Amino acid sequence: MTDEKLKEIINAVFVEQFELDPAELTPEKEIFTDLGLDSLDIVDLVIALQRKFGIPLRQNEELRKIVTLGDVYTVFLHLAEENPELAAKIAGE
């Protein structure tokens, strides 16, 4: 699994869920202020990521603290390191 592959998958969720321009999706972008999501959207982001990766996320502490898109990448990199099945799923996407 490459970091790039993971970022592609996460970016695709943002594009599909929130109709964002892929060109806007760079790691330093803040989810609320730059990408224009609000608290209702965050609920739907978590659900979409759950569905995409097949793992429960609502109680994930790290995910609750995300500020930037890069933070989202980091959360899933950590999850993939701890969970070989998740890493394999990502590699297979």
Partner 1 sequence: MNDGRIARRRVVITGCGAVSALGNSAGELYRALCENRCAVRRMAEYEAEFGRALPGAPVSLEPSSVRAIPRRQRRGMGDAALYAAIAGQEAYRQAHLETVDLADGRSGCAVSSTMGSAKSIYEGVEMLLDGRREEIPAMQFFRCAAHSAALNLANLFGMTGVTAAPCSACASGLQSIASAFEMIAFGRQDLMLAGGCDELTPAVAGSFVQLFALADPDSRQDAAELSRPFDAARTGLVCGAGAGIVVLEEYEHARRRGAEMIAEVLGCAVNTGGAHVGQSDAASIARCMGLALRDAGITARDVDYAAAHATATVAGDREEAAALREVFGAGVPVAGLKGHLGHTLGASGALELTALCEMFRHDILLFTRNLTDPAPECRGLDHVTEPRPMKVRTLLKTAVAFGGINVALVLRNLG
In angstroms, give the least distance from the CB of 83 to partner 1: 19
Q: Select from 31, 87, 14 the least CA-distant residue to 55.
A: 87
Give the count of residues interacting with partner 1 (CB under 8 A): 13
Task: Count CB atoms within 10 A of the CB of residue 82.
Answer: 9
In angstroms, give the least distance from the CB of 4 to partner 1: 27
Residue placing its CB nearer to partner 1 in the complex, 37 or 72: 37
Beta bridge partners of 68: 30
Q: Is 38 a catalytic residue?
A: yes
Pattern 11-50, partner 1, x by CB under 8 A: -------xx----------------x-x-xx-xx--x--x
Site for partner 1 in 48-77 (CB under 8 A): 50-51, 56, 58
Q: Select from 41, 39, 9 the least CA-distant residue to 25.
A: 9
Q: Tell me the C-alpha to C-alpha distance, in Å, between residue 70 and each of 25, 30, 82.
A: 9, 9, 19
Catalytic residue set: 38
